Structures are given as C-alpha cells and as structure tokens.
Amino acid sequence: MIIGGSASQKLSAKVAWDLGENLSPIETRRFPDGERYIRIKGEVPKEVVVIQSTGYPQDENLMELFLLLKNLKSLGVERTRVVIPYFGYGRQERRFKSGEAVSAVIVAELLEAAGASEIYSINLHEKNIKEFFNIPVHEISAMPMIANYINTQVDDPMIIGPDKGALGFAEEISGILKCDCDYLEKTRISPEKVEMKPKNLDVKGRDVVIIDDIISTGGTIVSASRILNDLGANKVLVGCVHPILVEDALLKIFAAGVDDVFATDTLKSDVSTISVAPLVAGYLKKFE
C-alpha cells in the first residue's frame, strides 16, 4: 500500500500505478486554529510505503510526515518505507557557526523515532546525511534520467557544474552522454548572494547545460549563465533535480538569458518535466 503525503500526491499516484499497488486515501486537513489533522482511511497492511517530499512549507510537510508515521505504527504497521524525494533541511548538515542547530541530524532522528523503517531519497544534498540514520538509507541518483532528457534536447552538449560541489553531477551526466564537462568557481556570500569568478571555458558556439542538484533563489544559475553567455555559448540550458525555486527565481533565470530550464518532480514546479516515479518504483521493488 502506498500513502501519498500532501506534498507528493501526484508522484505517489504515479509510483502506485507503476508498482500496481493501491494508493491509500488519507484525510489531511487543518483544525480552525491551524493544527494538522490526519486520518488514514480503511485497513492498513503490515507493510506500507509513505511518499512525502519535505520542501516548502518544510515544517508543515515534516509534521504531516511525523503524524503519518507514528499513526501507522500505532495502527499495527510493522514496516514503513519512507520515500522523501526531496530531503528538506539537508543543507544544514553541519554546524557552520557555533551554536547552530544541525537540522539534518535532528530531522533524521525524528524520522526514526516516528517509525520510519527505511528511507529512500533522491540526490541528498550531502553524502554524510545517510550517516545520521541508524536505519537503511537508499540514495537514488536522478542524473541518468536527466542525461536521457538532455539527449533528447541537445546534440553534443557541454555539461557545466556551477560550482565544484556540482562537478560530480556534471561528470555523471557527461560520462553517460560521452560529452565534455567542466565547472565554475563559486563563493557563497550569503543565502541570497553568490560570487562567481570568470573562468576561461571553451564554450564558444556550444550548447551548454548547467547541472545542479538544487535551484533555490536562482542566484547560482543567474551568475553561471551570465558567465557562459559572455563566453559566447550558443544556448544555455539548465537542469536540476530539486526545483525549490524561491519566489521569482525562474523569472530571474530566464531574464539572465537561459534558454530552457528542466527539473524532476521531486518537488512540484512549472519545470518539473522529468518524473522520478519509475526510478522510485524500481528501487522500492528492488528492496521489497
């Protein structure tokens, strides 16, 4: 049985269809004072899969997930596999300044305490997040799906990571497509501001695809696309796994000369064109 949380209803329906499983109806609403109400309708089997991304509104989606998991446990479920397509709070996975809460660790501990038996997630922001859990964590890469999509759009692209952290994604895709890849040098000044050094990349006349795991404010992509356009790129396309797209991020990106943006449906957005449903279904089947 598959249970889709509010943040991942459509994806859950697709995964259920791919697996030939029932999508369980749940009732989720708010009391007049804003508190969340959850009810699972009908009988629950001993094993269930819950699918819920924990992007914006992060705290609401997490709370709903905690209530669902605890409720399933108290209803007698023995194994709850939790698919978190986008793992929110993953960027605060260490104490950067003294006194900071290490939010990713706290979220991991709460998920376990709530009754998660296993976690499945797509491209965690940092590899160490897996180590915060004492239960199995299956990290799934969406890069092969993104590579297939790029293959249908561009001939002989050049793949660019907008920072060193994204080089691994760029390399994974260029390895599949057998094309060139490189990366830019980025320094983050604040959550909203980045600085990028000009770099001599041979992109003149080339169709370039910038690849990142996350687009949040769009600042990274705006800076990267300006550099690539200045260097004479023919087209600049942008792909990411998790389209957080805060406020007018997408507008800023197109206004910076980007030709197209595509992303997966780990989060709902106007550019979530690549569905990870078959990927998630395949992993759930593999570890049945």
**Residues 174, 217, 225, 269: which binds ligand R5P (CB under 6 A)?**
217
Nearer to ligand R5P, 137 or 166 (CB): 166
**Distance, CA of 180 to CA of 40 (rounded, Å):** 50
Residues in region 89-118 near ligand R5P by CB under 6 A: none
| DSSP 8-state assignment for residue 8 | G
Tell me the chain's radius of gyration from C-alpha atoms.
Answer: 20
Residue 123 interacts with ligand R5P (CB under 6 A)?
no
Residue 165 interacts with ligand R5P (CB under 6 A)?
yes
Omega into 191 within 30° of 0, i.e. cis?
A: no
CB 122 → ligand R5P: shortest distance, Å?
Answer: 14
Q: Which range binds ligand R5P by CB under 6 A, 9-17, 115-123, 159-167, 201-209?
A: 159-167
Nearer to ligand R5P, 77 or 194 (CB): 194
Beta-bridge mates of residue 49: 2, 81
Give percent helix, percent strand, percent coil of the chain, each to the nearest 5.
35, 30, 35
Q: Which range binds ligand R5P by CB under 6 A, 22-30, 62-70, 207-215, 270-278?
A: 207-215
- E-assigned strand segments in the chain: 2-4, 23-24, 26-30, 36-40, 47-51, 79-84, 118-122, 137-140, 158-161, 180-183, 185-190, 193-197, 207-215, 235-243, 260-264, 272-274
Please name the residue that has the structure tokens 């991304």.
Answer: 53
**Residues 108, 214, 276, 277: which binds ligand R5P (CB under 6 A)?**
214
Nearer to ligand R5P, 126 or 259 (CB): 126
Structure tokens at 64: 């709903």
- Residue pair 211/240 in contact by the 8 Å Cβ criterion: yes
CB 248 → ligand R5P: shortest distance, Å?
Answer: 12
- Residue pair 7/55 in contact by the 8 Å Cβ criterion: yes
Residue 166 interacts with ligand R5P (CB under 6 A)?
yes
Residue 170 interacts with ligand R5P (CB under 6 A)?
no
CB 254 → ligand R5P: shortest distance, Å?
Answer: 14
Q: Which range binds ligand R5P by CB under 6 A, 54-62, 102-110, 129-137, 213-221?
A: 213-221
Q: Is 186 one of the catalytic residues?
A: yes
CA distances from 229 to 4, 36, 211 (A): 41, 47, 16
**Residues 84, 215, 276, 277: which binds ligand R5P (CB under 6 A)?**
215
Residue 218 interacts with ligand R5P (CB under 6 A)?
yes
Q: Which range binds ligand R5P by CB under 6 A, 1-9, 69-77, 162-170, 279-287?
A: 162-170
Residue 216 interacts with ligand R5P (CB under 6 A)?
yes
Q: Which range binds ligand R5P by CB under 6 A, 34-42, 115-123, 145-153, 208-216?
A: 208-216
- Residue pair 225/257 in contact by the 8 Å Cβ criterion: yes
Angle 132-115-95 from CA coordinates, rounded to 5°? 25
Q: Which of 186, 193, 197, 199 is catalytic?
A: 186
Residues forming the site for ligand R5P (CB under 6 A) = 162-163, 165-166, 194, 212-220
